Amino acid sequence: MPYGSGIIYSVTGYLYLWIRYRNKNKVMEVLQKEYDGRYYDAGARLILSIFGIALIGLIILLLVAVIGRFTYDLIY
């Protein structure tokens, strides 16, 4: 039985696969082929990819703000 974040990853993986494929045979096939038969791996990959995308977005936003402020200070 998974504890802590394992429960969140497992539930997220289960919901993700069932919402995406909606077919028991296809879900089981993808689960075995791509995630080694573990909903935990599917959920972890989904959640971590979302956090990765958010982090990249924040870094880009920070760079744009710094460069914008730098050019504003040079002009005025």
Task: Print pLDDT tens along the chain (76 aa).
Answer: 557 778 999 999 999 999 999 999 999 999 999 999 999 999 999 999 999 999 999 999 999 999 999 999 999 8
The total of structural domains in the chain comes to 1
pLDDT reported for residue 3: 74
CA distances from 12 to 7, 18, 25, 34 (A): 8, 10, 19, 16
pTM above 0.85, yes or no: no
The per-residue pLDDT for 19 is 97
29-62: burial string, b at 16+ Cβ within 10 Å, e else: eebeeebeeebbbbbbbbbeeeeeeeeeeeeeee
Specify the pLDDT at position 52. 98
54: containing domain = 5-75
